Structure 1
Amino acid sequence: MAMMARSDIMRAVKRTHTGPEVAVRRLLHALGLRFRLHRKVLPGSPDIVLPKHRTVIFVHGCFWHRHPGCRYASTPKTRQDYWLPKFAANVERDARKTSQLEELGWRVLVVWECETRSEEALEARLRREFGLPNSAAASPRTP
């Protein structure tokens, strides 16, 4: 099998409907929260929009969006003259879009890709963010 060119690899990186994004959507739906996807009329075209709660959610990849302190936000050892400005531009754009959304009255949440690895922890966070009862109180289990 021939090696893929960098441009082919970059082209293959999904922008929408990624695994982490789908995991967040599945949990939100299970919690009874209804949403819209990728609203292009809003700054940054948020991944998930919950109009009833005036909240938008961005599901960020730790590598591309530079999750502070995360082991998945590694920096390539080669071609740092290319990567470092690219990462800086991503972080700056994220901050700018967050400010624009907040000025429009939206609450902005960021769910990091690494947070989607533990469904229980993510569910607990979403319950807190939206003022929902914890899962033990929501559905008592019988033996």
Structure 2
Amino acid sequence: MLFRRALWAKGVRYRVDSKSLPGRPDLSIKKYKLAIFIDGEFWHGYNWDERKKTLKSNREFWIPKIERNMQRDREVNAQLEDLDFTVFRFWETEIKTNLKTCINDVMVYIDIGGINGA
């Protein structure tokens, strides 16, 4: 919600969980062919090589589950790129600790993508 509110305050309008796009991006801006995902660190394998070693319980379930999520993320990125979309993926922690930087990354892309010239 922090990210959505900040983007909205900048005047950027978006769709939430667009069912018409692969992977149902958390936010999408079709005008700029932009898909934004905000990924949870556990579910999407942040720092996976280190974190995988620390999993203590139910490893037989969690390791394949998270690795499949990571593979699916790569597949979704490729599908969106085939549709000429640019994909931004932010970690939840990034949004919480560096919201301004994340918003700025999107705003720079939009500005270059033609918001000022459109």
The TM-score range, normalised by the shorter chain, is 0.7 to 0.9
CA RMSD of aligned residues (A): 2.1
Alignment of structure 1 residues 48-67 onto 2, 5 Å: 48-67=27-46
User: Number of paired residues?
Assistant: 108
Larger Rg belongs to: 1
The structure richer in helix per residue is 2
Structure 1 position 129, deviation (Å): 3.1
Structure 1: which 4+ aligned runs deviate by more than 3 Å? none
1:42 paired with 2:59, answer no
The DSSP-based 3-state class of the residue aligned with 1:130 is helix
1:130 corresponds to: 107
TM-score by length of 1: 0.68
1:89 corresponds to: 68
Alignment partners' CA distance in 1, 2:61 and 2:105: 39
Query: Percent sequence identity over matched residues?
Result: 34
For structure 1, the 5+ residue unaligned runs are 1-21, 134-143
TM-score by length of 2: 0.81
Higher relative contact order (CA 8 A, sep 6+): 2
For structure 2, the 5+ residue unaligned runs are 112-118
